[in-house]
Amino acid sequence: MKFWLFASCLTVAGTLAVLIPITRRRTAVAAPETQDLAVYQDQLKEVDTDLQRNLIDQESAEQARLEIARRLIKAEKAQHDQSAPLRSGWLRNSLILASVMIIPAFSWGLYSILGSPDLPSQPLAQRMASSPDRAAVDELLAKAETHLKQNPDDARGWVLLAPIYLRTGRVDEALIAYQNIIRLNGEEFSSVLGMAESLVAKNNGLVTPDAKELFEKAGVMNPQDVRPPAYLARFLMQENQTAEAADLLENFANQAALDAPWLPEMRQTIQQMRADANQKGPTSEDVEAAKDMSDTDRNEMIEGMVAGLDQRLRDNPDDIAGWQQLVRSYMILNKKDQAQDALNRGLEALNADKQKILSDFSQQFGLDVEGSINE
């Protein structure tokens, strides 16, 4: 009941606010320009007088006359417009009045059918709490993008947009934004790191050689930041250099502050990497080192390393670097069927992002990537 009473009051007030000005008789008010006609006419006379006295030259006199004439015409037009009677036809007023009366009646009828006046109110704070980040991000993006279309060389705008693009998954736009930042501001730590992280995101978590080079630059610019060495360690693990990755992280951890919040987790990661490195599969260097061994001894050594790696992956199937190494190991041994089987098992055990990494990695060996995914 309170809602309908309040709505009625608002409707009446809104209707009156429109009707009252329409019903009032309009009176013309003289424009200020109409009071200046005499002044402009006197100014024209003064120009002629100054020209006769040689106080100004002919060219200056013509320019002055043109400017005064322009103002004079404007004032005369204003006087004519204000003195003309204000006319509003009977049909026009009738349509306005009918519209003002019909629209509220129609709105009330429609709301009574489709509306829900009995629903509890939802304050603005509560509505914003449901998705504040999305609303804020969309508004910020819209303003920044509009601004940058008109000002493409505004480095501050690109600095604002780039990390938002990256966080919201708009990787291509993030790369363009970071390229513009570097173009305008040069290579700085935040832009180089952001560019590298965007490349990793574009490649579904794979640290490409281009990204590796950028992470190395970022590490030199800010030796205390944990992100560059973490990504460089990931690159080494992709290359099946787990021990080297552990060394890199351990050197970084030894130089870090003792109260660094990420230090305990990094220590655990290094321990796990050391354990994995001790159970790694054979590399091409391992095979080369065993060439002087007898065929039996060499095969036993390599098969034992592969079996150990295979068993470790059964216990820890989420290890993307391990699956890459197992596939590579079988290809080194010229056992393509076993490599295909390892690929199939790896794709079955990994999530979508890591599946993409393993698929891209395995394509270089000519394995059936598409068939493995479809299975």
Taking Cα atoms as reference points, which of 343, 321, 317 lies closest to residue 237?
321
Confidence of residue 218 (pLDDT cuts 50, 70, 90): very high
Say if CB 40 and CB 75 are below 8 A apart.
yes
Mean pLDDT value across residues 313-333: 81
Helical axes 295-315 vs 320-332, angle rounded to 10°: 160
Backbone angles phi, psi at 24, to 5 degrees: -75, 150
Taking 70 as the threshold, does the pLDDT of residue 360 lie above it?
yes
Distance, CA of 169 to CA of 203 (rounded, Å):
12
pLDDT tens digits for range 15-26:
666 666 655 554
Q: Do domains 132-278 and 284-374 have the same CATH topology?
A: yes
Confidence of residue 114 (pLDDT cuts 50, 70, 90): low
- Residue scoring higher pLDDT (241 or 364): 241
Taking 80 as the threshold, does the pLDDT of residue 91 lie above it?
no
Tell me the residue type at 192: V
Confidence of residue 359 (pLDDT cuts 50, 70, 90): confident
Q: What is the pLDDT of residue 211?
A: 92
The segment with the largest mean pLDDT, out of 69-78, 99-108, 264-273, 360-369, is: 264-273
CATH of domain 284-374: 1.25.40
Q: What is the pLDDT of residue 229?
A: 93
* Domain boundary assignment for the chain: 2-114, 132-278, 284-374
Q: What is the pLDDT of residue 160?
A: 83
- Residue scoring higher pLDDT (174 or 332): 174
Confidence of residue 28 (pLDDT cuts 50, 70, 90): very low
Confidence of residue 104 (pLDDT cuts 50, 70, 90): low
Least confident window among 123-127, 159-163, 249-253, 352-356: 123-127
Residue 149 in tokens:
């279309």
Reduced to 3 states (helix: H, G, I; strand: E, B; else coil), residue 332 is helix
Say if CB 175 and CB 162 are below 8 A apart.
no
Radius of gyration of the chain (CA): 39
Residue 116 in tokens:
């829900």
Distance, CA of 318 to CA of 346 (rounded, Å):
8
Taking Cα atoms as reference points, which of 144, 134, 146, 198 lies closest to residue 172?
198
**pTM beyond 0.75:** no
Mean pLDDT value across residues 33-40: 61
Taking 90 as the threshold, does the pLDDT of residue 175 lie above it?
yes
| Angstrom distances, CA of residue 44 to CA of 11, 38, 110 | 57, 10, 65
Q: Which long-range contacts (CB under 8 A, 24 or more apart) does 47-50 make?
A: none
pLDDT tens digits for range 118-130:
555 555 445 445 4
Q: What is the pLDDT of residue 325?
A: 80
Say if CB 162 and CB 177 are below 8 A apart.
yes
CATH fit for domain 132-278, picks 1.10.3810.10, 1.10.10.10, 1.25.40.10, 3.40.228.10? 1.25.40.10
